[in-house]
Structure 1
Amino acid sequence: MVKNNAVLATVLFAFVVTVASVSTTFYQLYEINRAKHIDSIFAKHSLIAQIYHTYLLKQISQPMFEANLALYDLYEVREGDKYKRITGGGDLLKQEGKSSQDFDNNLLSDAPYAQIMVSPIASKMIEYQGKIYFLVESTHNAVLLEDRGIESYNPVILLSAYFTLLSVLLISFALIIHRLRPLRRLRKQIARFGEGDMGVSFRTSGSDEIALIANELDTTQNKIRSLIESRTLFLRNIMHELKTPIAKGRIAATMLSEEKQQGRFLGIFERLESLIGEFALIEEITSGNQHLEKNEYRLIDIIDGAIDSAMVEYDSVSSDIDASVKIEVDYRLFVTAVKNLIDNAIKYSPEKKMSISMENNEIVFTNFGPPLKKPLSYYIEPFTKDQPTKDSFGLGLYIVDAILREHDYILAYERRNDLNCFIFVPVKPTKRSIR
């Protein structure tokens, strides 16, 4: 699935990586800005702790302490329930603790109470229901202060920038997917054209790269269609025109008084008719215009039809095939392939005999004779001959190979002792066509 949508998968991967990177970057910015906001608020804590420390040292009175708190918009929380809810359920943003000795040395060295030891003071910054509180504690005292002049951190600007950028990425991704849709349609059209549908049109509107490719394909397809039509018309006209003089030649040959000459001419004309038939079959297979009518047939019936078509004696062909074996093929074409192998096997066997058997799903054609002088790939090319005689493979194995490929088979060759074995091997053994 991924292979069939590699471009889409690549775009989706790039989109996911980009969104993840942007999200990570904005989250880090959020953490940094939040920490700076907390630090800037907590800086106020030093002064509050100092005021509270002087209050504990009795250097300022209670009214003066409260006046200093009001000056910084700080108000003491005195309700016990609210105090417990805030200290127990609030979010701790930051905390810090300093001993009284630090204050004595740095701030209050000239005070008359400088040598008085006070227990260390701990300060906490708490967020509860969107408000900021400071909890200042010593060993024996604690005060919870509400800061009404400061709000908790609100990353609305950062979030706006994040969602704006995310929207741009989503719109860009949607536009890319929209631009890639014609590519998927073009792929389906090319597949239809490859299957032989010559009526498919690649023409499309637009001026982008995909539209230019599609229009160029449409132009190329029209040229290919014209070439195929010209080739088909040319071959069919030639074959039709050749049949007339051949028929006349056969009639004229029967009028010869000398039997030897008559037989020679009749053999020549029969050979020409056979070649025209092979040319017609090759044109049908290679043009891609044939429509295979596949059905299940008993293999022994196909072999019998091939023997009849090859016009050889039944005694020349030994068949060891189970009558229950069936294969799904186009009967006419497959009979032709089997006929050609039977004809070649008998023609090149000194005994003029051959045998057909089954080995698993493979159909094996065996004959006694000399081994092939060249690889099989040489003989399945059209018009190949080892010797300049009329008895050669010619188009026979080329036609066999072409028909087998249309049926998901391949032609193989093995030499077993003194026997030549031509084998029909299924290309997809998992789909058992022979059962």
Structure 2
Amino acid sequence: MINFRVLASIRRLSFWALATLGLPLLLSLLLASYYLQQVSMQGQQTAFLSAQVVSASKRLDESLLDLERSARQFRVLADENRLKLYQRQWQRVSKGLFELRTGTEDKELLQIVYELEQQLQSLSELMESPQALQRVALNIQFKRFASLSHRFDQRSQSLINELAMALQDTTQQAQQRLLFSMISLPFALAAAVLLVLVITRPLQQLRPQIARLKSGEFDQAIKVSGATEVMAIADALDDMRLRLLSLEQQKTAFIRHISHELKTPLAAIREGNELLYDNSAGPLNAQQQEITEILRDSSLRLQQLIEALLDFNLLLDTPGEQVHHPVDLKPLIEKVLASHRLSLSSRGLNPKIELGESCVMANQEQLRVIVDNLLSNAIKFSPQAGVIKLGSFATVNGVSLYIDDEGEGIEDELQQRIFQPFVQGKTAKDPRLKGSGLGLTIAKELVERQHASLRYQRLEQGSRFVVEGLQGSELDES
């Protein structure tokens, strides 16, 4: 069994995976090549030997027939030319038998060839005897030749059948061995898949931990078990987590400290200015009254900026994951509109609610802050007596919530940066409503915590901010 603790490197695991899968495949290919080569060679040899045996048998039959014909013709005609023809035929048969004796290793064929050579010698002696004795003897002699030739043919056929059977057996053995080698491939593939899982499993463990870093959760240590390279990455990520946690704590402490240090003297400034503004320290002339109004607006603006900065810092400190419940959009939107009643009435703005879907799964307080910030943005940039639409509609990916205004819209070059902290567009229609540049940033952060997305859309007249991907829900009647 493979010890995966010893094979603690991705390089080693990859090598073992390739070896586990590649070696059986290579061995199977080599065995297949070897067996096919053996079958091919034996097939060629069988075909060659079969052709050789058939040709030898045919030549022997023809030579014996020619020998018999020339011998009988010489016996009848007693012609010198017939004698020479007989002698040439005899030499041809003798040479053919010699070639058969030296060209075969089969014992039965060698025995038949030996007997044929003996009968050929007997024929030679018989042809030298008186003619009166040759007739009957020649008939007997050539019957022996025919019998031996028949035996040679039968043995040749048997030999061909044996070669064919041997080739068939070799082919079957090759098929069985190839099948056995192919059966081992699934086991090799399973082992390779197991090794790949061992390699990828630690990487899968890193994904949710990196996602926690992305969402700003630095409280849990990053730990994985697996290959040394993955563990090294995990250690580096954990070091980065600790550094980010330290920086986040320092930033939070700094913002809290500086905010406190700013709010204390600011409170004194505002109180003193209010006393002057209310003529508590004595009446003011018109110019002095105007100065106190400027100081009052500026100090209020500064206090709003400090509070927005504190809210933004508090938002970043809160965990990314929140419990979601069914939220009815209509009362939530009405509550937000009520909180902005004075701003809406002073500008003569007309809000309209157009809800296609009335309930979503979300964190109610965070969703309220989202709508509040988007509505504040719409109020700032809407023209006098303009219309602000707040609505929702169902999509394939869930529920979308939108807020439209009739302002001038955002420039193209600024649209990619409007969700970054402290980025602001054109001056608000009412200078007193100038924002901090954190509203859209906070809204986008909270939208992502609802597992949704926030995007800007330029309309023919005005702008639209739409929250996409909210999960639809049924209201709990209980």
TM range (shorter): 0.5 to 0.7
Report the equivalent of 1:265. Answer: 295
Cα distance between partner residues in 2 of 1:410 and 1:268: 32
Name the structure where helix makes up a greater proportion of residues.
2
**Amino acid in structure 1 at the alignment position of 2:351:** S
Structure-1 residue corresponding to 2:267: 247
Compute the displacement of 1:424 (Å). Answer: 1.2
**Correspondence for 1:72:** none
Match of 2:240 in 1: 220
Equivalent residue number for residue 19 of structure 1: 24
Question: 5 Å matches for 1:152-301?
Answer: 178=198, 181-202=201-222, 208-256=228-276, 257=279, 258=284, 260-286=290-316, 289-301=319-331
Unaligned runs of 5+ in 1: 1-6, 57-101, 135-151
Which residue matches 2:162? 125
Distance 1:330 1:266, change over 3 A: farther
Matched residues in 2 for 1:206 and 1:235: separation? Answer: 41
Q: What TM-score, normalized by structure 2, do the two folds share?
A: 0.57
Which residue of the partner structure matches residue 76 of structure 1? none
Which of residues 319, 326, 332 in structure 1 aligns to 2:352?
319
Structure 1 window deviating more from structure 2 (214-223 vs 283-292): it is: 283-292
Offset at residue 325 of structure 1 (A): 0.9
How far apart are residue 235 of structure 1 and its match?
1.8
- The residue that corresponds to 1:404 in the other structure is 447
- Which AA in structure 2 matches 1:312? L
Structure 1 counterpart of 2:92:
none
Residues 268 and 186 of structure 1: is their aligned pair in 2 closer, same or farther, counting only changes over 3 Å? Answer: same
The more displaced of 206-215 and 222-231 is 206-215
**What is residue 426 of structure 1 aligned with on the other side?**
468
Task: Count matched residues.
Answer: 362
| Structure 2 counterpart of 1:243, one-letter code | K
SS across alignment from 1:382: coil
Shift of 1:42: 11
* CA distance in structure 2 between the partners assigned to 1:383 and 1:262 by the alignment: 28
Alignment match, 2:107: none
- For the structure 1 residues 297 and 27, does the alpha-carbon distance in structure 2 shift closer, same or farther, using more than 3 Å as the test? same
Higher percent of residues as strand: 1
- Equivalent pair of 1:26/1:162 in contact (CA under 8 Å): no
Task: Tell me if structure 1 keeps the 8 A contact 2:222–2:235.
Answer: yes
* CA distance 1:37–1:284, shift in 2 (3 Å): farther
How far apart are 1:198 and its partner, in Å?
A: 2.1
Q: Quote the offset at 1:274 in angstroms.
A: 1.8
Deviations 1:242-301 (A, max 9, x none): 332233333222221245444433322322222123223332444573443432222222
Shift of 1:384: 3.3
Indicate the SS of the match to 1:360: strand
The separation in 2 between residues aligned to 1:227 and 1:275, in whole angstroms, is 23
Q: 1:376-430 CA distances to partner (integer Å, 9 max, x unpaired)?
A: 33433333345578555533333333333333132322322xx3131314147xx
The residue aligned with 2:368 is 335
For 2:263, the aligned partner's letter is K
Bigger Cα Rg: 2
- Shift of residue 184 of structure 1? 4.0
SS at match of 2:423: coil
* DSSP-derived class of the 2:352 partner: strand
Report % sequence identity.
19
Structure 1: distance between partners of 2:37 and 2:411: 81
- Report deviation, 1:366: 3.2
Partner of 2:128: none
Q: Say which structure, 1 or 2, has more relative contact order (CA 8 Å, 6+ apart).
A: 2
**In angstroms, what is the RMSD of aligned CA positions?**
5.3
- Mapped to 1, the partners of 2:474 and 2:384 lie a distance apart of 30
Which amino acid in structure 2 is aligned with residue 298 of structure 1? D
**Do residues 370 (structure 1) and 408 (structure 2) align?**
yes
**1:187-246 Cα deviation digits (max 9, x unpaired):** 444344445442333357899333332222222222122112211222222223333223
Distance 1:343 1:173 in 2: 56
Cα 1:15/1:309, change in 2 over 3 Å: farther
Q: How far did residue 332 of structure 1 move?
A: 2.5
Say yes or no: does 1:395 pair with 2:395: no
> How far apart, in 2, do the equivalents of 1:204 and 1:424 lie?
39
User: Matched residues in 2 for 1:218 and 1:205: separation?
Assistant: 14
Evaluate the alpha carbon distance shift between residue 42 and residue 370 of structure 1 in structure 2; reply closer, same or farther with a 3 A threshold: closer
Change (3 A) 1:191 1:364: closer
Distance 2:167 2:30 in 1: 30
Unaligned runs of 5+ in 2: 1-10, 62-94, 101-112, 121-141, 395-399
Distance 1:48 1:297, change over 3 A: same
